[in-house]
Amino acid sequence: MNQKKEVVHLDAVVVGAGFSGLYMLYRLREAGFSTRVFEAADGVGGVWHKNRYPGARCDNESIDYSFTFSEELFKEWNWSEKFSKQSEILEYLNYVADKFDLRRDIQLNTRIISAHYNEEDNRWTIQTNEGSTLSAKYFISGVGCLSTANVPKFKGLDRFEGKWYHTGNWPKEQVSLKGKRVGVIGTGSTGIQVIPAIAPEVDHLTVFQRTAQYSVPSRNHAYDPEYVRQVKDNFNEFKRKRRYSFGGFPNDIEARPSALEDTPEERDHLYEAAWQKGGVSSFFLETYQDLTANEDANETLSVFIRNKIKNIVHDPETAEKLSPTYYYGTKRPIQDTNYYETYNRDNVSLVDVKANPIMEITPKGIRTTDGEYELDIIIFATGYDAMTGSLFKIDIRGKDNVTLKEKWENGEQTKTYLGIATSGFPNMFMITGPESPSVLSNVPTSIEQHVEWITDCIEYLRDNDIEILEAKEDAEEAWSKHCREVAEATLFTKTDSWYTGANVPGKPRRFLIYLGGVGPYREKCSEIAFKGYEGFSLQSTMEKA
């Protein structure tokens, strides 16, 4: 007998149970919408659930990298260090899930495989990998910007006799590296955390570096309880500053306008102070404002860091290979604990795979154009198919059965309205989507702003009997153009990076992050809502009938 499968009807389906999905669920539930979150992993936490690699830490300050929607939560949670370990952030997100009783509406181990918009009833039909079908008025992505691992398609990986791991899908069980010959491919933020963390344990570590990176010391330390008390006592001010700041951080910007207005001695004095204080933010907040806007200003800091590398690394040839040449800050700025120092160890060697590219993975290791490196374990710290990769993994179809991938990749440009919505995909929302401040901001601040905006919007639709909300093409075109213009006035678009999609072979090169600042962006979004969702077409239940 052909049994008809039951379709579950909901107001909203949310994809992903990281920072975005957890808060989205909380807000929609509070506003009275039936909501379910689907998460492919076996626990909540998003990237913090999966990035369990050795040395994994956040490089935003812990207190800043927290939710502020609940003063009680903010005050009762205690971060132990300035830059938290992955396990502590994961513990925090589990605590949030429990505190707000979120788990009863989160379905783990379940991947959303498709979401199709039906123009007959203005609802989304959503399918999961375990065969369930859902019908939801709103389809909301909380997939995150950096969650689809980029494993380069090297010939021969399937024949490798050792073990290999991608840092973004690190196993839960202990990986024993003791006494092993380990190769790490990639020296982005992740590789630079992994390398010093594992070097003391392994027999030999070979680092395969394609692009040398600038990294500054993090100088992580345990939190001073007095500092934490002061921040908590000033919660409202902390929250206000974070929301209206440029980068989504609560700090005042003390950076001077231009590096070119100071003498070399004055510049070195400021750079040295930031280096000693530690953390990427010290350079952006306390040195100069034009570092990513002006090539000559940028070069002053680049030279400073290159000199540091020369002084730290004993072997001049290795130091030379580690010296970066791109514009500082136009790839994701990195901070570390003993990264360059690690190359002074006898059991660590560096292979320049730009000069000698990787040809293949052999059964015994990695072959570059200059020879074979025998390995027991290969660690891919090769990053993510950022910004769009995780959205494209779902078969999302809007009006006229057009897929999101067709619209964005086959079209001349990925286009969104505010990074929240895209034309042709009614009643679909993206949390930290392409062309929003997302990864070039303190992400929890941006997530809170998007989730609150989306919830207010959905409440407005309900309260005004509006059936369909869709970004207008001209509004989207204008927003996208504005995003590109802001980016092109900086140095960001001049460097190959995951910001531009250049890290994934064949991916169109597009800069999909809004650089106009978190505070101004928030004001723009609020103004649009205040004007009755200007730039969106709204269709009421009556009109539809």
Buried b (16+ CB within 10 A) or exposed e, 41-74: bebbbbbbbbbbbbbbbbbbbbbbbbbbbeeebb
- How far apart CA 386 and CA 388 sit, in angstroms, is 6
Total of chain residues touching ligand NA7, rule CB under 6 A: 22
Contacting residues for 261 by C-beta, under 8 A, at least 6 apart: none
Interface residue with ligand NA7 among 62, 187, 300, 441 (CB under 6 A) is 187
Which token pair is 448?
Answer: 């809170």
Q: What's 538's DSSP letter?
A: E
Interface residue with ligand NA7 among 82, 332, 367, 522 (CB under 6 A) is 332
- How far apart CA 66 and CA 60 sit, in angstroms, is 10
446 binds ligand NA7 (CB under 6 A): no
Asked if 44 and 17 count as a contact pair (C-beta separation under 8 A), the reply is yes
Residue of 89, 119, 39 lying closest to 443 (CA atoms): 89
Closer to ligand NA7 by Cβ: residue 54 or 152: 152
Give 35's strand partners.
12
Q: Which stretch binds ligand NA7 (CB under 6 A): 205-213, 277-285, 422-430, 526-534?
A: 205-213
Q: Which stretch binds ligand NA7 (CB under 6 A): 68-76, 187-195, 214-222, 388-396?
A: 187-195
Q: What angle do CA 404, 410, 411 make, to 5 degrees?
A: 85
Contact map string, positions 339 to 378, toward ligand NA7, x by CB under 6 A: --------------x----x--------------------
210 binds ligand NA7 (CB under 6 A): yes
191 binds ligand NA7 (CB under 6 A): yes
At 210, the amino acid letter reads R
Q: Which stretch binds ligand NA7 (CB under 6 A): 301-309, 361-369, 381-389, 455-463?
A: 381-389
Q: Which stretch binds ligand NA7 (CB under 6 A): 27-35, 340-348, 380-388, 472-480?
A: 380-388
Site residues (CB under 6 A) for ligand NA7, limited to 482-541: 498, 503
| Minimum CB distance to ligand NA7, residue 502 (Å) | 7
| Distance (Å) of CA 519 to CA 284, 440, 450 | 17, 13, 13
- Angle, nearest 10°, between helix axes 264-277 and 295-312? 60
433 binds ligand NA7 (CB under 6 A): no
Q: Which stretch binds ligand NA7 (CB under 6 A): 111-119, 208-216, 219-227, 396-404?
A: 208-216
Closer to ligand NA7 by Cβ: residue 82 or 332: 332
Which residues are at the interface with ligand NA7 (CB under 6 A)?
146, 152, 185-191, 208, 210-211, 332, 353, 358, 381-384, 439, 498, 503
